[in-house]
Structure 1
Amino acid sequence: MNLSKTSGINKLNKIWVDEYHESTRFGLRGKKILEEESEYQKITIFDSDRYGKALLLDHCWMCAENQEKEYHEAIVHPALTSAEKIEKILIIGGGDGGTAKECLKYNELKQIDMVEIDQKVIQLSKKYLPCIGGGCWEDSRLNVIIGDGIKWVKNTKEDYYDVIIIDSSDPKGAAKGLFNQIFFRNCHRILRTNGVFSAQTESPESFQEIHINAVKLIRSIFKYADPLYGNMPLYPSGYWSWTFASKKSQRYLHPIPERSSQIVSKCNIWSPRWQKGSFEAIPAQIERELKT
């Protein structure tokens, strides 16, 4: 078979997979590797031409091999470079392993409790997306709990974690209960006084109302909370947010120099300069809404 004919066959085998949102769609071309139903959701593994293998949950993009740093570095490093201590970390969600991998770059860290409700997400991520989690699954500091994150924070004793990271999907299905007052109050209760809370808080463009309400709710529970903005080309609008909070000050705005110097060379996206600009990049309309 000549090369031009082979190339034509390969193109015919390629498909587009799209995430649809309010008369828009966000897609990649490639090959679908598998699609399975777990107890909680539909899980799709897709091998894209542009970003490598990617994970979708209920037809929504979660992560891709060549575009996970934009998300995982943003949700982790503003918290871990600024909390007073980073010995005990809680991750709710994060079944692809990317958030845990970023946390485990810190030598001070002694324990991560990662509570993921869907064991199949972990299993398939380990098999098909091993570079996203890297060596996190073999690290003795990572304690994986298959269970409900809402129940976990409810039953955890007060002032237990130095950092809490909510690495959840959109607020629907199994993740719906992670965007409410009771859940955030329990996170506040189990976070240490000089700890930092971190959560993905949706797109200020595609999910503006959800984003604004989430930031306002976090601010109503933690004394200090601010959103950080960055690019996520894989997600609706390509524009995303993460919100950081603490009890006594805006400590998440100020990375500890000794920690930053140890971690910055290991990052593709995060740096103290990037972080400062991303906190300051709040759109004027969002800033006005948050003040009302």
Structure 2
Amino acid sequence: MQPPAAPRSGDAWVDEELDGVRYGLAATVVEERISPYQRITIIDSPAYGKGLLLDGCWMTAERQERHYHEPLVHPALCAAASIERVLVIGGGDGGTARECLRHAGVVHLDMVEIDGLVVELARRHLPSLGGGAWSDPRFHLTVGDGIGWAASSADASYDVVLVDGSDPAGPAEGLFNRSFFQHCRRLLRPGGVFATQSESPEAFRQVHIDTVRLLREVFGHADPLYGWVPMYPSGWWSWTFACPDGPRYREPLAERAAAVAGGCAIWSPRWQRGAFEAVPAFVERALAATDGDQP
């Protein structure tokens, strides 16, 4: 077992504070900028490498990002009937797009990120996250409002819709409401899959439960998947998948899964099965009390 990375000379603690708890790293602030939307901080830490915070909240880091991006992407892209057209809302660090584009069946990927400065700083300081996505001819970046994009796009225009947003505050607040989810359902082609990060069942318990409940109401079928992102509040995280025509996201197609699993650090079909089954009892009771059994 390797000893924990020691702080370097000049490092200080960089913390996210939430409800009386601090989640921090010994790190150096590399660059900090204020965009029209938020405060963007780039840090460098001995433990996790370079990382990104938005308004003082941890978003990602070089040695943490696979814990987040792989669980968001692969259950959806390994299960949708087709994956030719993919929409990513948010995701300015590039990690979600990178994982999507590992699937050869993706022909066109739109990424709509509201804050162009996040993209600029991520490409400069965290180039490994986006990797080759930024230059992939299938990748199309729009700096703009993802909520407006979803509202104005044509019916049945995407096979997969992924929401890679921050906590439900500031520019990401509108990514957690009924109107937005209804538009996302409208965008899906038959056999399509929707997925979103759905917060920590510990640190954001009610937001998490409300998100799963609302997605079940809008799509008909939705299930949370549980994993861990150690740098996030509580370390315990969730992603929720939804379909109008049955929970196809639970069963990855063998050929697609085999094509990407060897390059994954976290996700595998076996891991996915366990992650969908790891519903804590308090979440199961809360959902059953309000919604009854999922149709």
- Specify the alignment match of 2:248 in structure 1: 251
1:210-289 maps to which residues of 2 (within 5 A)?
Answer: 210-289=207-286
The 2-side partners of 1:150 and 1:270 are apart by 28
Deviation at 1:60, TM superposition (A): 0.3
| 2:198 is the alignment partner of 1:205 | no
User: Superposition pairs for residues 53-68 of structure 1, below 5 Å?
Assistant: 53-68=50-65
Q: Does 1:178 pair with 2:178? A: no
Q: Residue 156 of structure 2 aligns with which residue?
A: 159
- Tell me the C-alpha RMSD between the 2 structures: 1.0
- Match for 1:83: what amino acid? A
Deviation at 1:31, TM superposition (A): 0.8
Confirm whether residue 38 of structure 1 aligns to residue 35 of structure 2: yes
The structure 2 residue matched to 1:126, chosen from 123, 126, 137, is 123
SS in 2 for 1:61: strand
What amino acid is aligned across from residue 63 of structure 1 in structure 2? T
Question: What CA distance in whole angstroms lies between the structure 2 residues aligned with 1:11 and 1:61?
Answer: 20
Task: Please state how far the C-alpha of 1:206 moved relative to its aligned partner.
Answer: 0.3
Residue 16 of structure 1 aligns with an amino acid whose one-letter code is W
Alpha-carbon distance, 1:266 to partner: 1.2
In structure 2, what is the equivalent of residue 22 of structure 1?
Answer: 19
Secondary structure of the structure 1 residue equivalent to 2:63: helix
Aligned partner letter, 1:200: Q
Cα distance in 1 for partners of 2:261, 2:147 equals 33
2:81–2:191 contact (8 Å) kept in structure 1: yes
Hey, what's the Cα distance between the residues in 1 that align with 2:190 and 2:181? Answer: 15
Using the size of structure 2 for normalisation, the TM-score is 0.95
Q: Which runs of 4+ in 1 moved over 2 A?
A: none
* Percent of residue pairs identical: 52
Identify the residue that residue 85 of structure 1 maps to in structure 2: 82
CA distance in 1, matches of 2:285, 2:27: 41
Query: What are the Cα deviations for residues 161-205 of structure 1, in whole angstroms up to 9, with x where unaligned?
Result: 000000000000000011000000000011112000000000000
How far the C-alpha of 1:291 sits from its partner, in A, is 1.1
Residue of structure 1 equivalent to 2:293: none
Q: How many residues in Structure 1 have an aligned counterpart in Structure 2?
A: 284
Judging by fraction of residues, say which structure has more helix: 1
User: Over residues 69-93 of structure 1, what are the superposed CA-to-partner deviations in whole Å (9 max), with x where a residue is unaligned?
Assistant: 0000000000000000000000000
Q: Do residues 169 (structure 1) and 145 (structure 2) align? A: no
Matching of residue 144 in structure 1 with residue 145 in structure 2: no
Read off the aligned partner of 1:134 and give its amino acid letter.
G
Tell me which residue corresponds to 2:188: 191
Deviation at residue 11 of structure 1 after TM alignment: 4.3
Paired residue for 1:110? 107
Deviation at 1:30, TM superposition (A): 1.6
Report if the CA contact (8 A) 2:15-2:22 is conserved.
yes
Unaligned segments of structure 2, at least 5 residues: 1-6, 290-295
C-alpha contact (below 8 Å) 2:8/2:46 kept by paired residues: no
Offset of residue 14 of structure 1:
1.1
- The code of the aligned residue for 1:146 comes to V
Larger radius of gyration: 1
Whole-angstrom distance in 1 between the partners of 2:43 and 2:222: 36
Distance in 2 (alpha carbons) for counterparts of 1:285 and 1:112:
37
In the alignment, structure 1 segments of 5+ residues that lack a partner are: 1-9
Write the distance in 2 (CA, Å) between the matches of 1:113 and 1:12: 42
Return the letter of the residue paired with 2:81. E
The DSSP-based 3-state class of the residue aligned with 2:51 is strand
Give yes or no for contact 2:166–2:172 (8 Å, CA) kept in 1. yes
